[in-house]
Structure 1
Amino acid sequence: MFRIAHAGAPEWQQAANTCLAQLGDVPAEASLGFLYVTDHLAGHLPQILAFFKEQTDVPQWVGSVGVGVCATSQEYNDQPAISVMIADFPPDAFRVFPAIKSGIDEFAGHRAWCDQADAHFAVVHGDPRNPKTPVFITELADAIHDGFLVGGLTSSRGPNFQIAGGLTEGGLSGVVFSSRVAVATALTQGCSPLGKKHEITECQDNIAIRIDDRPALDVLNEEVGEILARDLRRAAGYIFAGFPIKGSDTGDYIVRNLVGIDPDNKLVAIGDELNAGDTIMFCRRDIRSAYEDLVRMLHDIKGRLERPPKGGVYYSCLGRGAHMFGENSEELKTIRQELGDIPLVGFFANGEISHNRLYGFTGVLTLFS
């Protein structure tokens, strides 16, 4: 049993009551809720969470805040809105854990349950303000024995709350599922590669000094073309750095922002730490290829399902959605068009989580079957 509800309204009480009416009579078996609110309502999340706990009697909740939230075929961007889903997972088939803020040892109390439940999958939400969050993602996946994580980082112009039982913030939190819960997950890219792969031959922190043993900026200029090379300010938000994932059999890669250039010294600053020997390529934000890859991903995950999905969660980059596919909820409508009218909730994140990595400009879909 999966049920969803979603609503936009000027006041949180109005949106919450509309959602409650859509949920109808909540079965006693409902054990876990997913709750996402736009950052317009972030300051009211304590009251919103308390409202749904009291009115539904669903004991456990997870969720986060986003600049936009989504539900089946509907996106809410830059407006007060709530998206909620409840499900009747067996109570012993999942375990909610609070934020890991300082180190993975804070998860130690849950390891015995994970071993007993043969848990290898988790839905997680992270605080983008904690610089250790990307490390926690990798370490948590290792802690649940080569586990697979999905989720996103909170995107908010106000409070950066996550939900894990109660309100939390400052780290990585969520819910781990036992192997009894069948899931299928897939990722779609929002940027397409330009040119060929290169090697970073000299760097310092996040600054590429030489690529292919040439000045880094010279290589970038050649890849982006003469018109953009004349004025790289035009490339902001359009050209990115991509880092292929070693051992990926699907050609997967992580996208990071270009955060600055030094024309005099021909340096390129990138929004992540660099290491000499890293493979790098340059990518462009490409609406057509992003749509084609979204459809490809949906066909792929549909083909892997052994039975129709009961419900799902979707985490998309805040640079996608209306900014990439248009104002009419086209990204979510495409999912419904390919998969049907399944219960689905999620939010537009400040970084998307898939497997054991933090991505950018992607969409991460998980279906429960």
Structure 2
Amino acid sequence: MTPFTYAHAGVTPDGPITQWQGWQSLLDHCLQAWPATAGDLGLLYVTEPLAGDLEDILARLKERTGIADWTGAVAPAICATGAEYFDTPAMAMMALEVPSGNYHLVPPINSTEGADDALRASADWRATHDPRFAIVHADPRGAGVMSLVPDLAETTEAYLVGGLTSAASNESQIAGATTGGGVSGVMFGETVPVATGLTQGCSPIGPLRTITAMEEDIITELDGRRALDVFKEDIGDLLARDLQRVAGYIHAAVPVVGSDTGDYMVRNLMGVDPHQGWLAIGDALNVGDRVMFVRRDAASAVEDMGRMLDSLKARAGGGIRGGVYHSCVARGPNQFGPGSQELSMISEALGDVPIIGFFGNGEISNGRLYTYTGVLSLFLEDE
């Protein structure tokens, strides 16, 4: 088994680069041991301080590695095996060394019409390679972008993973060249073996509730009762006495219809009206939909991370060539503590496996948008 070639570098107090000397020094550090031949497809993630240099970085990468096809993104923070880079210039890159022809770059898709054009352009390749997996990057600023992700998943029948890119740059994505807006990425043919897992960062604190009345986007009743009364019952008396304390701690969650694992998508609690007894949740919901309330909990996040890693390790059977990890910017040091604890858990469970990824403001798994989660995708040894 040949592990994927990868490298990463950032300006950190622990080195090896302790002071900012330009993006060239980071790239030179990454490429000092890069082999002469490392496949046809590359993945690159950089942090926001390097956004303005992305085009130059990509051009230099193509020149020095010989890899022509790249996908990737600018993100608030990035990660690699055993390392997390927050609030600092950093880059991570990986050669996704799959057989030639077994991947297809997805150009930026900004509309339904654009999706149709992209699908027509890839029709022959999809008919031959029957893609089952794709890594996608979505610009959170684009109107309707979030509806494009599930549409793309449904049309291609591929399992989409990825995340929301930085909103601080007009060109925050790579799809062959630097680009911005919409959804872009890469599809893989069915002969590329992959295993994926999702871990939650919040734990349920009450039962599933049914929305029984709404005023426009505001929930007024749950289970036939005033929504706020049900909310207070679920969060407990201590928090109910001071609703200011729930901000950033208590969230809503929407169960995934048809899931046999109790999967759910966390959504922010946007507002509480203590006088009317109403709740506002950051999702498009309707009467009859079900919701529950969840708590951001470091202990349960660690426990669920362990569950995901145990499951992936068993499914991988030890033959892991490399992985891509898309996590939430609210995780990492903000939930697991300092010292790259979240990425260290992956290394402790799977060994010194090549990993790169990023921390964003939303994660994509199975074509759905999640928050406060981690999505790990492992490329496996060919059987």
TM bucket normalised to smaller:
over 0.9
> Is the Cα contact below 8 Å between 1:154 and 1:160 reproduced in 2?
no
Aligned residue identity for 1:59: A
Aligned with 1:192: secondary structure? strand
**Aligned equivalents of 2:250 and 2:123: distance in 1?**
41
**Aligned equivalents of 2:216 and 2:61: distance in 1?**
45
**Aligned equivalents of 1:249 and 1:176: distance in 2?**
26
Q: Could you tell me how far 1:304 is from its partner in structure 2?
A: 1.0
Q: Could you tell me how far 1:51 is from its partner in structure 2?
A: 1.3
What is the aligned partner in structure 2 of residue 117 from structure 1?
Answer: 129
Counting only pairs closer than 5 Å after superposition, residues 1-369 of structure 1 correspond to structure 2 as 1=2, 2-9=4-11, 10=20, 11-23=22-34, 25-27=35-37, 30-103=39-112, 104-108=115-119, 109-145=121-157, 147-159=158-170, 161-369=172-380
Q: Could you tell me how far 1:110 is from its partner in structure 2?
A: 1.2
> Is the Cα contact below 8 Å between 2:171 and 2:178 reproduced in 1?
no
Aligned residue identity for 2:309: L
Structure 2 gaps of 5+ residues are 12-19
> Is the Cα contact below 8 Å between 1:155 and 1:348 reproduced in 2?
no
Per-residue CA distance 1:64-119 (angstroms, 9 max, x = gap): 11111000010001111011111322221000011110113132211331121111
Q: Which runs of 4+ in 1 moved over 6 A?
A: none
Per-residue CA distance 1:179-205 (angstroms, 9 max, x = gap): 110000010000000111100111244
> Is the Cα contact below 8 Å between 1:43 and 1:159 reproduced in 2?
no
> Is the Cα contact below 8 Å between 1:204 and 1:274 reproduced in 2?
no
Aligned with 1:195: secondary structure? coil
Aligned residue identity for 1:8: G
**Aligned equivalents of 2:132 and 2:226: distance in 1?**
44
Alpha-carbon RMSD across the aligned residues, in angstroms, is 1.3
> Is the Cα contact below 8 Å between 1:316 and 1:349 reproduced in 2?
yes
Aligned residue identity for 2:99: P
**Aligned equivalents of 1:155 and 1:264: distance in 2?**
37
> Is the Cα contact below 8 Å between 1:111 and 1:144 reproduced in 2?
no
Which stretch has the larger CA shift, 302-311 or 37-46?
A: 302-311
**Aligned equivalents of 2:242 and 2:117: distance in 1?**
48
**Aligned equivalents of 1:77 and 1:265: distance in 2?**
41
Cα gap change, 1:279/1:302 in structure 2, threshold over 3 Å: closer, same or farther? same
> Is the Cα contact below 8 Å between 2:47 and 2:88 reproduced in 1?
yes
Aligned residue identity for 1:260: G
**Aligned equivalents of 2:210 and 2:254: distance in 1?**
10
Percent sequence identity is 48
Cα gap change, 1:204/1:4 in structure 2, threshold over 3 Å: closer, same or farther? farther
**Aligned equivalents of 1:3 and 1:138: distance in 2?**
31
Which stretch has the larger CA shift, 222-231 or 91-100?
A: 222-231
**Aligned equivalents of 1:153 and 1:83: distance in 2?**
17
**Aligned equivalents of 1:49 and 1:297: distance in 2?**
33
Aligned residue identity for 1:76: Y
Q: How many pairs were matched up?
A: 366
Which stretch has the larger CA shift, 203-212 or 314-323?
A: 203-212
Q: Could you tell me how far 1:306 is from its partner in structure 2?
A: 4.1
**Aligned equivalents of 1:158 and 1:132: distance in 2?**
18
The TM-score with structure 2 as length reference comes to: 0.93
**Aligned equivalents of 2:52 and 2:200: distance in 1?**
32
Per-residue CA distance 1:291-315 (angstroms, 9 max, x = gap): 0000000000111124510001000
**Aligned equivalents of 1:278 and 1:155: distance in 2?**
31
**Aligned equivalents of 1:91 and 1:316: distance in 2?**
29
The TM-score with structure 1 as length reference comes to: 0.96
